[in-house]
Amino acid sequence: MLKTYEFPEFDYICSAEQRDGRVRRHPVVIVGGGPIGLTAALDCARRGIPAVLLDDNNTVSVGSRAVCYAKRPLEIWDRLGCGEKLVAKGVSWQVGKVFFGDDLAYSFNLLPEADHHMPAMINLQQYYLEEELVALCEASDLVDLRWKHKVVGLEQTDDRAVLKVETPDGVFAMEADWVIACDGARSDMRGMVGADFAGKVFEDRFLIADVVMKADFPTERWFWFDPPFHRGQSVLLHKQSDNVWRIDFQLGRDADPEDAKKPENVLPRLKAMLGEDTEFELEWVSVYQFACRRMEKFRHGRVLFAGDAAHQVSPFGARGANTGVQDIDNLTWKLKLVLDGLAPESLIDSYEDERIFAADENLLASARSTDFITPKNRMSRVFRDAVLDLAKTHDFARPLVNSGRLSTPTPYCNSPLNTPDEDDFRGAMVPGTNCADAPVNKDGKDDWFLRALGEGFSIVVFGDVPHGKTIAVGEIEAPVIEVSTDIVDEKGVLTERYDGAKGAVYLIRPDQYVAGRWRTFDPDRIAAALARATGQRH
């Protein structure tokens, strides 16, 4: 039991379909109730898909595990109804310090870019995140959360998956049009489809400890390379909520995990680091090893893999949960269109195109951080130490210091869903990029651009539209949002970020990515882009 947190126990309920022994067909069944599965359930519900979520346990994440949540996932959770609450509960840090050996190498201040609703990142224990997501799932009529439901078998035909599910009342069968497998790095579902998980397993072991500080300690991120209290290794310290601090010790390759976890071995390390006089209590401790790898394909028939089940990265840069949530953001609207018969099934394949591209970028970033933090040979270490030494006195070396790069969204540069630019635009909002937020005024009140976008496709027009207020392709409709009458850009930030001279038009996907943009409102070109973004034309 933690000192600052009591784990909830959710009730197991025997479902009607198990009791009656009548096999039911569900549009979507989600396997795994971690941050990714819970987000998937909420996003399905938000898009109008009834979702059953199966979890083999009956509580939230034990131990705090994921810590840092970046802007894009916060924006997604804001769309799903809990972004502001998470930000209020979480901790934001701006000052980071990098130590090398006995000295402070340098410190930095991540001055956040102004005019975004969500901060660049927050730190928060994973169980608080999950608790919030569970509460929203429980409040939703479309989410059916089932605890102590373990998937033990899978069969597939062309149009469905049949799951064998074990509960305290025995084993029963469920059918699903689509299954989203979010059952983590050790995914059983991955085994059931017979997929392997190729990549690189790193030999270094890390010890993570959560400690409760008794006195004030600065809200800063501290990273030590080769500190006097832990020679030859690295150590990371950062703050979570409730005065709980996460400390991450690199143990090296030969450490015995069981031995390292014992309080008599952990406490001296912590004291050496925090100082003899700093009062703290040990909250939770765990030893981990990590791997950088991904599945070759994220779609296996009717089973779609997301999060750590599909790709696993090192913890440096907070890329695990952050990218998993974006998998879901990418997938759910596509599932909705396919389930409704409005888009061809091939639209689902674009999930794989886009998110494998993102996974590879994350794997690369995470492997680069890992190589810097844990040099693999003598000369890599000499270079690493040279960078850190130079960083003490020379600005130029500081960008080379890599203690983890914060996760940012991957633009889907070459996605088949994009309509490439034909008109001239400046700035970052090229097709395939996630929309930057900006302050706007709506109905006379201060609001945010991302919040003003619709649930489906949106057409944002800077100025007025002479034509109708929607563009439709078949039954898929994209309403027009005028930056003049519907929302007002008083500060000019939106116009600046989107190079939105009068007449500029953006087609924006349901996951808030730019699908196409033009200098004039041409209904034919917009309709063609909408068809393309929904997999109906290439």
Chain residues in the site for other proteins (CB under 8 A)? 379, 382-383, 385-387, 389-390, 396-397, 400
**Smallest separation (angstroms) from other proteins to the CB of 435:** 29
Residue for token pair 């025995």 = 170
- Of 400 and 472, which CB lies nearer to other proteins in the complex structure? 400
**Smallest separation (angstroms) from other proteins to the CB of 401:** 11
Residue for token pair 């994009």 = 418
**Smallest separation (angstroms) from other proteins to the CB of 400:** 7
**Smallest separation (angstroms) from other proteins to the CB of 440:** 38
The residues, any chain, with a CB within 8 Å of residue 511's CB and separated by 6 or more, are 329, 330, 332, 333, 434
* 267: its two tokens: 């406490």
Coil, helix or strand at residue 135: helix
- What CA–CA distance (Å, rounded) separates 283 from 2? 6
The residues, any chain, with a CB within 8 Å of residue 143's CB and separated by 6 or more, are 41, 42, 44, 45, 50, 51, 53, 137
- Of 386 and 501, which CB lies nearer to other proteins in the complex structure? 386
Coil, helix or strand at residue 309: helix
**Beta carbons of 94 and 110 less than 8 angstroms apart:** yes
Calculated CA dihedral for residues 289, 293, 299, 304, nearest 10 degrees:
20
Direct distance between the N- and C-terminal alpha carbons of the chain, in angstroms, rounded to an integer = 55
- What CA–CA distance (Å, rounded) separates 209 from 269? 11
**Smallest separation (angstroms) from other proteins to the CB of 389:** 7
- Of 376 and 469, which CB lies nearer to other proteins in the complex structure? 376
Residue for token pair 């005028």 = 482
Coil, helix or strand at residue 220: strand
Task: Pick the closest to residue 419 from 506, 331, 342 (CA basis).
Answer: 506
- What CA–CA distance (Å, rounded) separates 201 from 466? 58
- What CA–CA distance (Å, rounded) separates 90 from 74? 11
**Smallest separation (angstroms) from other proteins to the CB of 426:** 24
Number of alpha helices (DSSP H) and beta strands (DSSP E) in the chain:
14, 25
- What CA–CA distance (Å, rounded) separates 460 from 484? 10
- Of 109 and 393, which CB lies nearer to other proteins in the complex structure? 393
- Of 162 and 397, which CB lies nearer to other proteins in the complex structure? 397
Coil, helix or strand at residue 168: coil
**Smallest separation (angstroms) from other proteins to the CB of 231:** 17
Q: Where are the alpha helices (DSSP H) in 346-486?
A: 347-373, 378-393, 449-452
Residue for token pair 């102590």 = 148
- Of 247 and 401, which CB lies nearer to other proteins in the complex structure? 401
**Smallest separation (angstroms) from other proteins to the CB of 199:** 25
- Of 167 and 374, which CB lies nearer to other proteins in the complex structure? 374
- Of 174 and 401, which CB lies nearer to other proteins in the complex structure? 401
**Smallest separation (angstroms) from other proteins to the CB of 98:** 16
**Smallest separation (angstroms) from other proteins to the CB of 402:** 14
- Of 389 and 499, which CB lies nearer to other proteins in the complex structure? 389
CA distances from 498 to 260, 469, 506 (A): 52, 21, 9
**Beta carbons of 281 and 238 less than 8 angstroms apart:** no
- Of 215 and 379, which CB lies nearer to other proteins in the complex structure? 379
**Smallest separation (angstroms) from other proteins to the CB of 222:** 24
* 139: its two tokens: 């409040």
- Of 340 and 389, which CB lies nearer to other proteins in the complex structure? 389
